[in-house]
Amino acid sequence: MSKITIPLGPQHPALKEPENFMLVLEGEQISGATVNLGYNHRGMEKAAEERTYIQDLYLIERVCGICSHSHTTCYITNVEELAKAETPKRALAIRALFGELERVHSHLLWLGVAGYEMGFETLFMYTWRDREQVLDCLELLSGNRVHYSINTLGGVRRDITAEQKAEVLKRIQYLKERTNYYIKLATEEPTVLARTQNVGKLPLDVAIERGAVGPTARASGLARDVRKDEPYLIYNELDFKVITHDSCDVFGRLVVRALELVESYKMIEQILNNLPEGPIAVKVPMRIAPGEAVNHYEAPRGEDIHYLKSNGTDKPERLKVRAPTLANLQSVAYMLEGGWLADVPLVIAAIDPCMSCTDRAAVWDPKKGKTQVYGWEELRKMSIEQYRRRGVDFTRL
């Protein structure tokens, strides 16, 4: 059979975000897929260099609309590490609480999107209605539904009162009941099983080789979770399980996310019931001591990495963000191969892609005025050259 190459995207390949997938088709079966990035580059990292540390908080928050707290927490951990600020325990607990509330809201959103992609719109409507509960919790605690802005240099901005605690616990109780129903629905409903089982296979060895992160990796049986592997905030004091599933398909990813919701509810209750007493923030100077810091954070979609370099002024010299979707996109190309065209949106949506997080690697030369993509050899040559100028020789490596 002759092969045809068709483009999927950049208009709305799965979610409402621009990204291009070139699919090589044999009939209706996919024999090859490539992912093309670069439609959503916004120059966030460069913009961060022009703003002060406190202004960057609100910029970094807007890297992504769903995991806004993940990005700021990762960034602020770097800043506090460089400033050697001792963040109060209560602030760390509140950050962890927001992290878990965010995970709940992200996973419920994904569950709805997955339902939508498999043509099960009732599930979509129900989960998104229930997601309002957790968004209301976030609005109650922080003052906004999406960009919570709870972090500030040295702590958090708002404290949690007893009434707020009671209100959040009430809503979490409702969500718990609903989630148990969705777990039953997702694992027993034949529509869901027919659409998700044996679709988008990613075996364990391929997941390791391609560096999958987050629920995508955990659904391939790889127990990789930053919260357990290298606990940050107060995760070492919380009692939770790392959920894994060994079916290696979209169904596994669905189950992992649904069960992670239950773990998150457990953690939210633990944090709220054992909130440490004390101040919620310490003062951090405007100028941050020179140095470099790298931190990682388990965002709802996987491991998020931030690198920060300070030169002693009130503005960072360099900020680098590695969003989880970039790590998972390598696996998408593998998952699509051998599958059917009709399953493509579902497989892409299964990694919970966030393109606006990911797109930050277009190289634009202002002198020549053109965009260029560098290959591995060129990048290697350039980095060796850069290190040689600093006095380190990597030629023989």
Footprint of another protein on this chain (CB under 8 A)? Answer: 51-52, 54-59, 62, 122-123, 126, 129, 132, 136, 139-140, 143-144, 147, 149, 152, 157-158, 181, 184-185, 187-190, 193
Considering the complex, what minimum distance in angstroms separates the CB of residue 189 from another protein? 5
Check if the beta carbon of residue 210 is closer than 8 Å to that of residue 334.
yes
Answer for the pair 272, 165: CB distance below 8 angstroms, yes or no: yes
| C-alpha–C-alpha distance, residues 55 and 149, integer Å | 11
Q: Which is nearer to another protein, 124 or 265 (CB)?
A: 124
Distance, CA of 397 to chain centre: 33
Determine contact, residues 72/299, Cβ cutoff 8 Å: no
Nearer to another protein, 73 or 270 (CB): 73
Instruction: State which residue, 130 or 352, has the beta carbon closest to another protein.
Output: 130
Tell the smallest beta-carbon distance from residue 65 to another protein (Å).
Answer: 13
| Structural contact between residues 44 and 321, judged by C-beta atoms closer than 8 angstroms | yes
Nearer residue to another protein within complex by CB, 141 or 355: 141
16's CB contacts (< 8 A; 6+ apart) are none
Identify the burial level of 91 via C-beta atoms within 10 angstroms of its C-beta, where 0-12 means exposed, 13-18 middle and 19 or more buried: buried
Q: Between residues 153 and 326, which has the closer beta carbon with respect to another protein? A: 153
Nearest CA to 286 out of 83, 149, 92 is that of: 83
If you write DSSP's letter for every residue of 208-236 in order, what string do you get? HHTT--HHHHHTTT----HHHHS--TTGG
Q: CA 133 to CA 251: how far, in whole Å?
A: 26
Per the listing, tokens 């906004």 go with 144
At its nearest, how many Å lie between another protein and the CB of residue 169?
Answer: 16
Tell the smallest beta-carbon distance from residue 374 to another protein (Å): 32
Q: Which residue lies nearer to another protein by CB, 184 or 388? A: 184
Q: For the CB of residue 113, give the shortest distance to another protein in the complex, in Å.
A: 17
We find the least distance from the C-beta atom of residue 42 to another protein, in angstroms, to be: 14
User: C-beta of 79: minimal distance to another protein in Å?
Assistant: 15
Closest approach of another protein to the CB of residue 316, in Å: 14
What's the Cα-to-Cα distance from 15 to each of 11, 113, 124, 157, 192, rounded to whole Å?
Answer: 9, 8, 14, 33, 19
Could you give the C-alpha distances from 224 to 61, 77, 142, 241, in angstroms and in order?
25, 21, 30, 11
Residue 158 or 318 with smaller CB distance to another protein: 158
Q: Looking at beta carbons only, is 132 or 337 nearer to another protein?
A: 132
| Rounded (5°) CA angle 1-35-27 | 15
Q: What is the DSSP letter of 12?
A: -
